Amino acid sequence: MTGARELLPVFFSYCRRMLRAFLLVALGGATLFVVTILYRAPLELPLYTCCLVGAVGAVFFFSGFARYYRRHTALRMLRAQCATKLAALPAPRDILEKDYGDIIAALERNRLSAAADAAHREADATEYYTLWSHQIKTPLAAMRLLLQESPDIPGRSAFAQELFKAEQYVDMVLGYLRIGSIHADLSPQEVPLEALVRESVKKVSTLFIHQKSTTLQISFLPGTVLTDKKWFSFVLEQILTNAAKYTPRGTVRVYLAKDSPDTLVVEDTGLGIRAEDLPRIFERGFTGYNGRGGQRSTGLGLYLCHEVLQRLGHTISIRSEPGKGTAVCICFARGTLVVE
């Protein structure tokens, strides 16, 4: 049945292509019958002639259909394989098909040229922003050192918080640039979970110190996790930063899920996420209702978290309720990572 469904559209297409020939043969047969009747000749002559022409025409028709179907199959295979070698196309049968082939060749050359230009521009932009991200770290590190050497400077806590945000934005840019080639940068190993979490918490502690109305609680986190320490810390810092940002007052808790000891949960009692925003929170550039408000979200944090965890063999999910808070769950699926 599947073969018949595929064959019938091609057959009807070939019939439409041969319609003019059908009409010419029918007109010739009708003319032969009219002449026979006018000259009162025996009807056997036009009947035999029509039968002979019909038999020969049927042979030519079905042999032509076989060639038509083979050409159609070859073109479909090329389309399925996204072939760019125009030499693989069937040879043109006439000058019109040759003209179409020349047009396709010109379009293909234009496409390849545009793709090469786009790849060149993307490589230049990636190189520039990578260099910029590394260079901007020097003045940021100097500002961090100046703050540490000036403990009595007015507004030091606010300055430290804004400096941390700038540093994190730079890390986000680098993460975004490297996400396509992250596999070359992975170094999976067994890491103590609690030490990994506390190290990330220490990096974002500036936010919680400045935001005195928000408390952070870390439960006992036994065991180890097979992951890449640097990239998982990047994800955890993004999630903790979001928790602090969207919890102006309340509690942020980090614990292992009771029903799934391989799942790390970062739960807050903050603003929460609207139900209509939840299906799109991992999309690149999506900010949602909260992000479009006073928080000025970039729409890249959760997108990068999802992409990184996917490459690490982990999964991320979020449950939330507006006004009650958000829980981010990271499941440490083993995947296919190889321990060094």
Candidates 165, 186, 173, 169; CA nearest to 125 is 173
In a domain, 267, yes or no: yes
Residue 156: exposure state from Cβ atoms within 10 A (0-12, 13-18, ≥19): middle
228 bridge partner residues: 188
Q: Residue 267's domain is classified under what CATH number?
A: 3.30.565.10
Residues 323 and 213 occupy one common structural domain: yes
Residue where a domain stops, chosen among 90, 106, 132: 90
Q: What is the pTM of this model?
A: 0.62
Residue where a domain stops, chosen among 69, 90, 111: 90
Residues 81 and 205 occupy one common structural domain: no
Q: How far apart are CA 332 and CA 196, in angstroms?
A: 14
Residues 85 and 193 occupy one common structural domain: no
The pLDDT tens digits for 141-195 are 888 788 777 777 787 777 887 888 888 888 888 887 777 777 777 888 899 999 9
- Interior CA angle at 169 toward 303 and 284, to 5°? 20
In a domain, 109, yes or no: no
How large a percentage of the chain has pLDDT more than 90? 23
Q: How far apart are CA 132 and CA 138, in angstroms?
A: 10
For residue 201, report the phi and psi dihedrals to the nearest 5 degrees: -60, -40
Residues 321 and 197 occupy one common structural domain: yes
The pLDDT tens digits for 91-139 are 777 676 677 777 787 888 888 899 899 988 888 887 888 888 878 888 8
In a domain, 180, yes or no: no
**Given the DSSP bridges, would you call strands 214-218 and 250-256 parallel, antiparallel or unpaired?**
parallel
Contact yes or no for 250/292 (Cβ under 8 A): no
pLDDT of residue 338: 41
pLDDT of residue 3: 62
Residues 195 and 311 occupy one common structural domain: yes
The pLDDT tens digits for 290-301 are 766 655 677 788
In a domain, 318, yes or no: yes
Token readout for 238 is 């993004």
In a domain, 166, yes or no: no
Does pLDDT of 5 surpass 80?
Answer: no
Non-local (6+) Cβ contacts of 229 within 8 A are 187, 189, 191, 196
Number of domains in the chain: 2
Task: Give the residue, 28 or 298, on which the prediction is more confident.
Answer: 28
Of the chain, the end-to-end C-alpha distance in Å amounts to 53
How large a percentage of the chain has pLDDT more than 70? 89
Give the three-class secondary structure for 264.
strand
Give the three-class secondary structure for 141.
helix
Contact yes or no for 317/309 (Cβ under 8 A): no
In a domain, 165, yes or no: no
Residue where a domain stops, chosen among 44, 75, 90: 90
In a domain, 338, yes or no: no
Contact yes or no for 265/328 (Cβ under 8 A): yes
Taking phi over 0 as left and psi of -120 to 50 as alpha, with beta for the rest, 221 belongs to beta
Does pLDDT of 340 surpass 70?
Answer: no
Residues 193 and 326 occupy one common structural domain: yes
User: Which structural domain range is residue 304 located in?
Assistant: 189-331
In a domain, 66, yes or no: yes
| Residue at 130: amino acid letter | T
Q: What are the DSSP calls for 152-164, one per residue?
A: TSTTHHHHHHHHH
